[in-house]
Structure 1
Amino acid sequence: MTTIAAGTSLDFTLVQQLTVIALCALTAYISHMALAVFNDGVRPFMLDFIQGRSTRSATTAVSFGLSAGFIFGLGAPMALSTGVLNPWLVFLPTDILGILAPKRWLAPILGGAWGAVIVFGLNGANNVAHDLPVDFLTAMQQMSTPILFLFALFPVLAITKQFGRMWGGISGALELALVVATMKLWPNMFAGALAMAVGVLMLIGLAIAKDLRQRKADRAEGITEIVLDDDPMASLFSSSAARLRRYLPLFMVLGAGVCVLAQMHIFGGGEATSFLIAKGQYAEAAQVDFYRVFGFIPLIATTALASGAYGIAGFTLVYPIGYLMPNPFVAAIVGALVFAAEILALSSIGKVLGKLPTVRDSSEHLRSAIGDTLQLAILFGSLMAANAMGGGLGILIVGGLYLLNDAMGRPVVRMAAAPAAVIVGGIVLNLLYWLDLFTPIKG
């Protein structure tokens, strides 16, 4: 079983506490100004808000509705079980608080207050949970093995969905061979790292080759691109990019802050990354988050150009870069430069993506595959946690809550439902213990 060597302590140093509070204040301020939000689902709604067709309260309701399940069902449980902060816990609440704030000066105060809740409140909750007769937080560390290993399969799923069974079978066999070879030859290396690298490169290579063949065929048939000077989408993209460039210094400060947070190794950009950071495997964590970037660049670029609101973490390149930086000062400089390059390149990226439809589709398949693998891994890991803390009764409660959530129309999003069920199940098992109706499993 994969163990978390770093433990699950959420006891931050003063510098780390101030960094989290300041970054939460900044992200809430930026969200209030409708310059950036973290939730990709909220970003398309920002154009109506920016142009005055939607009220602040209505936009806040949308943000809360799309984010609450991830905050309480995924962000908080992952942070408590790994001892590492994550973007769902840090940035989704500041999306909501920033949009909610009626005055500009109030937004950073609310954001900073949330940051204080994170750095001062989580450790207390963590200590209380570990002192309970049924320690469900330690049990949740069982989630690490299925998340880390099943996540490695996302390139195989993406290739299969986009390029068919043959290429899917080839990539699957290749990834399996690479995982086995890595475990045998490099036991201290994350087993899925090399396999994911090869899988993502295969997907990109297949997509680019298909686009190049299509462009060659189009030229042979005399088909040329028609560019309309009065294209309304082109005009919208141009004005959105110009709006974001006007606030370039503010975005550079944001990039510096996110990169510094990642450099401190108290923050992981994803589910698998959180467990790798907790184990001290920073290079492997950087590799995992780097591959995720390919699935999100087209989405973030196009929604930013269409809405005029960027991503709080940009293209998320600052995550893997931050993990590898030697100190916070270098991380701040590099993070600022990365965000500057991203903002300045937005228009060009949009034009390139328009000419590579297969590559653009690959990002959709990558995101879908990441969701599918993590959904299965989190569910399986949650049932393993349920078994560790309560045996068959634990599985009954956690699995039952998950199924009940589905039957009720998923008030909690599916990916967050299982970890949330583990926490609720842990509380129920403790209540049963205090009623002398359940004996905790030892060991």
Structure 2
Amino acid sequence: MSTTLAAGAHLDFTLAQQLTVILLCALTAFISHMALAVFNDGTRPFMLDFIQGRSNRGATTAVSFGLSAGFIFGLGAPMALSTGVLNPWLVFLPTDILGLLSPKKWLAPILGAAWGAVIVFGLNGANNVAHDMPVDFITAMQQMSTPILFLFALFPVLAITKQFGRKWGGVAGVLELALVVMTMKLWPSMFAGALAMAAGVLMLIALAVTKDVRQRRADRAAGVTEVVLDDDPMASLFSASAARLKRYLPLFMLLGAGVCLLAQMHIFGGGEATSFLIAKGQYSEAAQVDFYRVFGFIPLIATTALASGAYGIAGFTLVYPIGYLMPNPILAMVVGAAVFALEVLALSYIGKVLGKLPSVRDSSEHLRSAISDTLQLAILFGSLMAANTMGAGLGILIVGGLYLLNEAMGRPVVRMAAAPAAVIVGGILLNILYWLNLFTPIKG
């Protein structure tokens, strides 16, 4: 399977796609202003204080900006430029900030729509300028696709190893390797990590559920009973948060319809690996990748939503893989609205179920940690490959040096975004050196 994109990915949008992005950005900014949902999982826990009046709009906006800026400019923009596919860091994180920043309800959707216009009208111009430079660092960034796609497939192995030990981790590793080799041999047009990831995630879930079932049986055999407090403050908070979200069910259904429609248009990818798969037209493989990620985020999104009263802009992210596979926009909107309705209505039930499955909750934590670990290595390695493509040893020196400098300075740019940001800065520096007649671009 080829993992290299055609040179010069472009961000050309049809009128329908432009309007969808602009209107969805307006809607998400409005919902953020209402403190009903935000995309950044790190911002959501701070929303309860804002909703209950213990924190003001300015302070909450500052938190959102501090947690999001690195991902917007260091990951979202570079990924969009290198793949020609939009992503949630570029589309939804800025509307989190703009919605919270807006002092008036009517102003929030205007600010969100303005950001949507910047995306659909401004990115392609920046893309064209970058491609016309002597050192085309945007095309060089497509080197990131191979390490991201292949290393990302290992995240279930890491999660199993962390939670259930080296023996089960070794079994998962051998199984995934065998499935990758088999897929490359028998189905070369298929994403090689698809079956491997499916097997790994299913194995992790099976191990976690088995552990929880055995523990509950052991507790019952030992006469241990679950104590439920009538005046449990967390249960009261969860109930109030769920009721608050249900009051705005029509708005969430509209949001689900919009996000699913965006995914159906195939101009949007829900993750790093997904963006490259969407760019190559491998929509079923992209749906598989984003579906497996869902298992790592349902417990986090459900519990933070119930604890804070603010949901996720993309919900449990199920609308991503569903949208990729929808045959037409109308069906995508109907299904997306239905999925969001079911998610919001089921929040309380999901919270109760997760409370009885501690190992499954732990699996979610390990999955997210493993996804982060694999992507950090893949993005760093891919960024160094891009640096080598741009400027050989000098490119590696600049990009690697910027990454190490960021580490030494305490990571002012978050680690996952630091390497792609370094590629862009390094590409600009190499172009400046070329104009000063101090550097000759590598041919080919």
TM over 0.5: yes
Match of 2:295 in 1: 294
2:12 counterpart SS class: coil
Query: What residue number does 2:99 align with?
Result: 98
For 2:378, the equivalent position in structure 1 comes to: 377
- Measure the CA separation in 2 of the matches of 1:6 and 1:397: 23
Query: 1:134: which partner in 2?
Result: 135
The answer as to 2:322 corresponding to 1:350 is: no
Distance 2:7 2:405 in 1: 35
2:194 is matched with which residue?
A: 193
* Number of aligned residue pairs: 443
- 1:54 is matched with 55
Residues in 1 aligned to 2:179 and 2:252: alpha-carbon distance in whole angstroms = 39
Paired with 1:409 and 1:7, the residues of 2 have a C-alpha distance of: 34
C-alpha distance in 2 between matches for 1:408 and 1:231: 44
Match of 1:118 in 2: 119
Aligned equivalents of 2:311, 2:26: Cα separation in 1: 17
Question: What residue in structure 2 maps to residue 36 of structure 1?
Answer: 37
**Partner Cα distance (1:61, 1:359) in 2:** 33
Q: Per-residue CA shift, 1:374-410, capped at 9, x if unaligned?
A: 0000000000000000000000000000000000010
Aligned: 1:236 with 2:237: yes
Q: What CA distance in whole angstroms lies between the structure 1 residues aligned with 2:7 and 2:168?
A: 39
Give 1:5 deviation, angstroms.
4.4
> Is the 2:8–2:131 contact (alpha carbons within 8 Å) kept by the matching residues of 1?
no
User: Aligned equivalents of 2:404 and 2:433: distance in 1?
Assistant: 21
| Aligned-partner SS, 1:326 | coil
* Secondary structure in 2 matching 1:179: helix
Indicate the residue corresponding to 2:249 in structure 1: 248
Superposition deviation, residue 3 in structure 1: 1.4
Deviations 1:212-234 (A, max 9, x none): 00000000000011111100000
Alignment correspondent of 2:286: 285
SS state at 2:411 partner: coil
Q: Is the 8 A contact 1:5 1:278 kept in 2?
A: no
CA–CA distance in 1 between the matches of 2:407 and 2:48? 32
Equivalent residue, structure 2, for 1:271: 272
The aligned counterpart of 1:107 is: 108
Distance in 1 separating the partners of 2:93 and 2:162 = 30
Which aligned pairs between 1:330-345 and structure 2 lie closer than 5 A? 330-345=331-346
CA contact (8 A) 1:5 1:280 kept: no
Q: Distance in 2 between matches of 1:325 and 1:73?
A: 31
The separation in 2 between residues aligned to 1:344 and 1:400, in whole angstroms, is 49
Q: Which amino acid is the alignment partner of residue 240 of structure 1? A: S
Q: Cα RMSD over matched residues?
A: 0.6
Q: Is the 8 A contact 2:8 2:139 kept in 1?
A: no
**Aligned-residue offset at 1:432:** 0.1
Offset at 1:70? 0.1
Amino acid at match of 2:180: V
Contact 1:151 1:377 in 2 (8 A): yes
Q: Unaligned stretches of 5+ in structure 1? A: none
User: 1:261 deviation in Å?
Assistant: 0.1
Instruction: Find the aligned partners of 1:271 and 1:422 in 2 and give their Cα distance.
Output: 16
Give how far 1:6 is off. 8.8
Q: Secondary structure at the match of 1:102?
A: coil
Contact 1:7 1:278 in 2 (8 A): no
In structure 1, distance between residues paired with 2:24 and 2:395: 38
Match of 2:207 in 1: 206
Q: Report Cα offsets for 1:333-376 as digits up to 9, x if no partner.
A: 00000000000000000000000000000000000000000000
* Contact 1:30/1:36 (8 A) holds in 2: yes
Partner of 1:316: 317
Q: Which amino acid aligns with 1:336?
A: A
Map of 1:143 onto structure 2? 144
Task: Give the 4+ runs in structure 1 shifted more than 6 A.
Answer: none
Q: Which residue of 1 aligns with 2:23?
A: 22
Identity %, equivalent residues: 88
Distance (whole Å) between structure 1 residues aligned to residue 16 and residue 10 of structure 2:
16
**2:346 partner SS:** helix
The residue matched to 1:234 in structure 2 has which SS? helix
> Which ranges of structure 2 fall in alignment gaps of 5 or more residues?
none
CA distance in 2, matches of 1:73, 1:5: 23
SS of the residue 1:190 aligns to: coil
> In the superposition, relative to structure 1, how do residues 390 and 6 fare at CA in structure 2: closer, same or farther (>3 Å)?
closer
Deviations 1:192-213 (A, max 9, x none): 0000000000000000000000
Q: Distance in 2 between matches of 1:5 and 1:179?
A: 24
In 1, the alpha carbon distance for the partners of 2:109 and 2:143 equals 37
State the distance in 1 between where 2:273 and 2:221 align: 46
> Whole-Å Cα distance in 2 between the matches of residues 2 and 216 of structure 1?
47
> Do the aligned partners of 1:6 and 1:280 also contact (CA within 8 Å) in 2?
no
Contact 1:204 1:359 (8 Å CA) reproduced: yes
Amino acid in the other structure paired with 1:185:
L
> Are 2:7 and 2:139, in contact at CA under 8 Å, matched by a contact in 1?
no
Match of 2:225 in 1: 224
Q: Given that residues 263 and 331 in structure 1 are in contact (C-alpha distance below 8 angstroms), is that contact kept between their aligned partners in structure 2?
A: yes
- Could you tell me whether the CA contact under 8 Å between 2:25 and 2:113 is conserved in 1? yes
The SS at the match of 1:84 is coil
In 1: Cα distance, 2:107 partner to 2:30 partner: 8
| TM-score normalized by the length of structure 2 | 0.99
Structure 1 length as normaliser, TM-score? 1.00
What is the alpha-carbon distance in structure 2 between the residues aligned to residue 180 and residue 172 of structure 1?
12
Inter-partner Cα distance in structure 1 for 2:347 and 2:187: 39
Aligned-residue offset at 1:4:
1.6
Alignment match, 1:3: 4
